[in-house]
Amino acid sequence: MTSEEKEAFIIYLQEKRQKLLSRIKELKDLSLIESPDCAVDKINRENSFYDKAVFRESLVKAENELEIISSVLKRIDSGNFGICEKCGKDIEVNLLKVKPESRFCINCLKMNK
Ligand SMILES: [Zn+2]
């Protein structure tokens, strides 16, 4: 991975993290809204209950993704990013784009299977 590629990757990850952070905030607000009992009938309450479950599920997913991105950014800081932990060679950029949390190169992944 060249330093330009790395630079672009950091920007990409930081943007993604920003997006996730605002999405998490949004989802937290949505899943916390309590519907006033007196104002809604039973069906509406059930619907909003279902919505909240969906929000919570998306929230968990977004938080997991954020955790992965944060750990990848930490690895970039420590200089271990993009290097295979098994053979010490560069990890393919295309693989990192799809799975930035990859710690092994394609060859080592194949061997592990
Ligand atoms: Zn390797």
Helix axes 3-32, 42-78, angle to 10 degrees: 160
What does the DSSP 8-state code read for residue 104?
S
43 and 90, same domain (yes or no): no
Can you give the pLDDT at residue 26? 93
Distance 25 CA to ligand 1 centre (A): 38
16 lies in the same domain as 57: yes
Domain that holds residue 109: 82-113
Across 11-38, b (16+ Cβ under 10 Å) vs e yields: eebeebbeebeebbeebeeebeeeeeee
Full DSSP string of 14-60? HHHHHHHHHHHHHHHHHHHPPPPGGGS-HHHHHHHHHHHHHHHHHHH
User: Do 25 and 67 belong to one domain?
Assistant: yes
Number of domains into which the chain is organized: 2
Distance between Cα 100 and ligand 1 center (Å): 15
Query: Based on the domain organization, do 93 and 66 belong to the same domain?
Result: no
Q: Is 92 helix (H, G, I), strand (E, B) or coil?
A: coil
Regarding whether 88 and 35 lie in a shared domain, the answer is no
Q: Are residues 25 and 64 in the same domain?
A: yes
8-18: average pLDDT: 93
Q: Tens digits of per-residue pLDDT, 57-91? A: 999 999 999 999 999 999 998 888 899 999 999 99
**Residue 98 binned pLDDT confidence (cut-offs 50, 70, 90):** confident
pLDDT at residue 37 greater than cutoff 60: no
Q: Tell how far the Cα of 66 is from the centroid of ligand 1, in angstroms.
A: 26
Ligand 1 mean position, distance from CA 110 (Å): 9
What confidence tier does 42 reach under pLDDT thresholds 50, 70, 90?
low
